[in-house]
Structure 1
Amino acid sequence: MAWAEKFKLNKQLVRSVTELGYAHPKEVQLQTLKRIIGGQDVVTIAPGGSGKTVTHVLATLNRFKHTAEGVPMALILTSDQDKVFDILAHFERINKNKTIRIVTLHAGVSTEHLLDELADGADIVIATPDKARAIYLKLALNLNKVELLVIDDAQLIVKKGLQLPTVELANSIGKAQRLVFTEVMHDKLEKMIAPFMDNATTIEIEEAAEEQLPVLPQMLYNVPNFGTKLNLLNLFLQDEEVFTKAIVFVNTRQTADTIYKSLNNRLRKRAALIKPLSYEHNSVDTVDAFKTDANYRVLIIANEIDVTADLEGLPFVIHFDIPAEKELYIARVETATDSDDNQTLALTFATDIELDEVVKIEQATGQKMQRAELPDELVIEKDRKQKEAEKAEKPKQNHKVDPNQYVKGEAFHQKKPENAKTYNYPSSMKAKMNKKKKH
């Protein structure tokens, strides 16, 4: 049997995967399971549907040789409640050892219920990082005997901003094997796993698509944030000789409005929108109207608007945002034939947290987007958190008053000597002053 021949899995697991129809290991299992069973820390980068979840479920269950102890030996962190249930379903399909107790921690039930579940014992805990951290801080989640930490769909954990609880939980676990599974690797994810995955083996799996679709030439610009996207778009559009006509796709009308306002006066006069938020903005009704109107060089379209877009003949198609449905993106860049005659170039702007969507598009089209270098003259905007941190680090100015400069109770101008309470008037002056008093 293929599984038994290739891996040191217990017989029950081999029987389970065979009965489920997994006749042969997938590529991700072939390249990672031996290393995981051998005790290595592993970072696995592979597309969705490649078998990552089955891989870490098998690796986790293979640790239980006999009766479980009821104390967490494995902690699996994932991005949200739906992912928790998906991993649990995989365990329920594969696991035949009924002494293993699996507890899930997520926002779908009350904390009191989760505390009761843990009190009854748990061998495997599947959780979202924020909920696991909250219960750990209540001293209800015992991490002292955890031997395996799995971070599943790590790119989604970063996208949801759950890096801090993930790192805190990882650092709270002592000596243990650590596994990270993700669809894409980028700077923010590397920063998250760096404190606890310094000696890990990285394995990257690229599964070929069933067919390659004919698509426009594509260039991908990986930028750090929204502000830098705006700067890059403005930089490109200022070149009137190259960017003679361009369509810019964004996800919302609000973003379209923001882009329009960010353009300088000269560019704004040459830009238009379809169904703008403000009646004061330039607008056209259709893509065809934009094509034939010599007054406009730029058309901004929100993905939330149902617009039929015939992009043939346009020099540039720019995706400022990546649509939530990859099919919408593919429909725009797919060509009728794989020909060099088409002069349209598709440019895509993506931040780190959008790169997983890029990977899904590449997987669906069977075509890699060409990674482009950012222009040297591009202004890189700082993230909001970075700006706040730098502001907090600035020393506060000292506004203390120099005690030698002013006397308490005095005005800022210096008093005349005769107005001071301590001034010693001549006796003749004192007599005149007394006569003026009315007794």
Structure 2
Amino acid sequence: MSLEQLKLSKPLVSTMSALGHLSAKEMQLKTMSRILGGQDIIAIGPEGSGKTTTYVLATLMRLKTGGGDAPRALILVPSKEKVLEVLEYFNQLNKNSTFNIVGIHADQSIDEQVEELTDGVDIVVAIPSRARAIYLKLGLNTNKIQMMVVDDAADMVKQGLQLPINELANSIQKCQHLVFTEVMHDRLDKMIADFMFMPTTIEVEELSETKVETYPQLIYQVPNFRTKLNLLNLLLKDTEVFDKVVVFVNTRLTAQTLSKDLFDGKAEDIFVYKPLFFDEAGFESLEAFKINEKARVLIVANENYDEASLTNIPFIIHFELPEDKMLYINRVIKKDEVDLVALNFITDLELPQLRKIEQAIGHKLEEAELPEDLKIEDVGKATKQKTKRAKELERQQAEEEAFREAAFQQKKESNAKTTNYSSGEKAKMNKLRNH
């Protein structure tokens, strides 16, 4: 589809063409007109589907010109690397030199970043925690924001950034909200429910055109670690079916923990690959495990595992999906006619990794029904209350620290100000409005 269908300005179409983007991606075709129309959008798509380009183009189109005294667009991303990436996108696409775009991350002092913001800014690209800290120091004015973008939203939830995102969203009186993510799940839905107004959800799936031939794979989707443990205990009780199993986790510490938790640590046929402690029973190689008739389950940490042939292992279980998708893919690519099944236990937070795997192998993985007698662990009321209290305490401490630092920090003469230029109205510092 041509770029003209996106209803972009002629300079943006020309810039996109010069950069080699001669046609619009499905993500852009499905979302651009809605974004330009002012709708709240939840856009779901895999890596490489054009999410970043979409909101950069939309931001430039919505704001039209720069030269403002306070930000009109706030873009929240999960890391410094992503901040720099988004700034580079703006540099490539923004030929309107009047736009002032500022990146905010943790590797620069807050005072320097406040100075940048008070000099006048149109678009702010920031990690949520640092943006919130500057907001609490009265350095980030949210009164004129028209667009708030949350990118890589599922990663934000995984990092526990819900609190700063919600506080920033609630500080804005009224604006358009755009959420871009690789996956949608309950935890993410809870995070955005407070500030999204009747959003339109648009999903794009871009699987590889080349399907990779793999061994059979099944997904068990569960809510948390404890339920994963219950499921593994339940499956491994069937010693006839699961007579030789390799269980993959991400760290050696998790491997040790799992070996102690399975069957209350009383099973004599469960071992750890290269255990942490020299006096614990384990195996130094996969081949030694294969030929030992008394060994039924081997728990392997990805971080210290030298990839070896899984021949004669009928079941591999990914208790945790590896961060590197190629570790997983290399294990399940069909190399010969052997009986091997891969079972994968995943939570909401692992869905982005799963989507990357599916995108690479060119097909969706089949989801298995959970056993009827599986005990689903839930977060207890006490834990929920404790988490709520902890968040409230964290918020209060951050506010107190920010105001204390603002009141008592010794400033350089060049930085000592009696006005809050970020407000756009130069309100006296001792008479600032409450956010």
| Short-chain TM bin | 0.7 to 0.9
Q: What's the offset of the Cα at 1:226?
A: 1.8
Query: Which residue number in structure 1 is paired with residue 287 of structure 2?
Result: 288
- Written as runs of structure 1 = structure 2, the 5 A alignment for 1:37-48 is 37-48=36-47
Aligned partner of 2:339: which letter?
Q
Distance 1:384 1:57 in 2: 42
- Counterpart of 2:14? 15
2:247, 2:316 within 8 Å by CA — same for their partners in 1? Answer: yes
1:178 offset after TM fit, Å? Answer: 0.8
| Structure 1, 370-379 or 157-166: larger mean CA deviation | 370-379
Give, in whole Å, the separation in 1 of the partners of 2:71 and 2:386: 41
Q: Where in structure 2 are the equivalents of 1:231-246 lying within 5 Å?
A: 231-246=230-245
Paired residues, what number? 389
- 1:347 aligned residue: 343
Structure-2 residue corresponding to 1:205:
204
In structure 2, the partner of 1:123 is: 122
2: CA distance between counterparts of 1:108 and 1:386?
A: 37
Q: Deviation of residue 279 (structure 1)? A: 3.4
TM-superposed CA distance for 1:278, in Å, is 2.6
CA deviation vs aligned residue, 1:320-370 (integer Å, no higher than 9, x gap): 111121111111111126xxx643210111221111111111111112111
Q: 1:74 deviation in Å?
A: 0.6
When the two chains are superposed, the root-mean-square deviation of aligned CA atoms in Å is 2.0
Q: Residues 49-79 of structure 1: CA distance to partner in whole angstroms, max 9, x if unpaired?
A: 1110000000000023345323211110111
Matching residue of 1:358: 354
The 8 Å contact of residues 315 and 340 in structure 2, kept in 1 or not, is answered as yes
Structure-2 separation of matches of 1:383 and 1:238: 26
Distance in 2 between residues matched to 1:151 and 1:377, nearest whole Å: 39
Q: Which residue of 2 aligns with 1:433?
A: none
Alignment partner, residue 394 of structure 2:
none
Q: TM-score, normalization: structure 2?
A: 0.85
Q: Which amino acid aligns with 2:194?
A: P
Deviation of residue 36 (structure 1)?
A: 0.9
Give the letter for the 1:325 counterpart.
Answer: D
User: How much has 1:373 moved relative to structure 2?
Assistant: 2.7
Equivalent-residue separation in structure 2 for 1:333 and 1:73 (angstroms): 48
CA distance in 1, matches of 2:388, 2:195: 28
Mean CA deviation greater in 264-273 or 147-156: 264-273
Give the partner amino acid of 2:369.
Answer: E
3-state SS of 1:263 partner: helix
| Alignment partner, residue 2 of structure 1 | 2
> Structure 2 matches for 1:225-264, cutoff 5 A?
225-264=224-263
Give 1:252 deviation, angstroms: 1.3
Partner secondary structure for residue 63 of structure 2:
coil
Cα distance in 1, alignment partners of residues 301 and 236 from structure 2: 18
State the secondary structure of the residue aligned to 1:268. Answer: coil
Contact 1:260 1:271 in 2 (8 A): yes
Q: 1:11 to 1:385 in 2, by over 3 A?
A: farther
Q: For 1:209-259, what per-residue CA distance to the aligned partner results, in whole angstroms no more than 9, with x for missing partners?
A: 031111111111222222222221111111112211111011111111111
| CA distance in structure 2 between the partners assigned to 1:17 and 1:23 by the alignment | 7
1:90 pairs with 2:86: no
TM-fit CA distance, 1:123: 0.4
Q: Quick check: 1:142 aligned with 2:138? A: no
The CA distance in 2 between the partners of 1:265 and 1:39, in whole Å, is 56
Mark the CA change 1:294 to 1:206 in structure 2 (over 3 Å): closer, same or farther.
same
Q: 1:373 to 1:96 in 2, by over 3 A?
A: same
The answer to which of 129-138 and 378-387 deviates more is 378-387
Q: Write the distance in 1 (CA, Å) between the matches of 2:149 and 2:370.
A: 35
- How far residue 198 of structure 1 moved from its aligned partner, in angstroms, is 4.2
Alignment check: 8 A CA contact 1:249 1:303 kept: yes
The aligned residue for residue 432 of structure 1 is: none
- Provide the residue aligned with 1:271 in structure 2: 270
Mapped to 1, the partners of 2:99 and 2:39 lie a distance apart of: 24
Which residue type is aligned with residue 350 of structure 1? I
1:186 aligns with 2:182: no
- Whichever residue aligns with residue 44 of structure 1, its letter is A
**Where does residue 151 of structure 1 map in the other structure?**
150
Question: Deviation at 1:390?
Answer: 6.6
Q: In the superposition, relative to structure 1, how do residues 390 and 154 fare at CA in structure 2: closer, same or farther (>3 Å)?
A: closer
TM-score normalised by length of structure 1: 0.84
Write the letter of the residue equivalent to 1:233: L
- Greater shift, 208-217 or 50-59, is seen at 208-217
Matched-pair contact (CA < 8 Å) for 2:249–2:302: yes
**Which residue is 1:413 aligned to?**
none
The structure with more radius of gyration: 1
Q: Which amino acid aligns with 2:63?
A: F
Matched, 1:76 2:72: no
SS at match of 1:179: strand
Kept after mapping to 2: 8 A contact 1:102/1:125:
yes
Q: In the TM superposition, what whole-angstrom CA distance separates every residue of 1:372-423 from its partner, at most 9, and x where no partner exists?
A: 2322322233448962527999xxxxxxxxxxxxxxxxxxxxxxxxxxxxxx
Distance in 1 between the 2:66 and 2:53 partners?
22
- Percent identity between matched residues is 50
Unaligned runs of 5+ in 1: 394-439
- Does the residue aligned with 1:104 lie in a helix, a strand or coil? strand
Higher mean alpha-carbon deviation, 267-276 vs 30-39, is at: 267-276
Which letter does structure 1 place at the counterpart of 2:11? Q
Q: Would the alpha carbon gap of residues 208 and 264 (structure 1) be closer, same or farther in structure 2, given more than 3 Å must change? A: closer
Q: Distance in 2 between matches of 1:357 and 1:370?
A: 15
- For 2:264 and 2:190, locate their aligned partners in 1 and report how far apart those are by CA, in whole Å: 40
3-state DSSP of counterpart to 1:295: coil
Mapped partners of 2:59, 2:354: distance in 1: 30
Q: Secondary structure at the match of 2:14?
A: helix
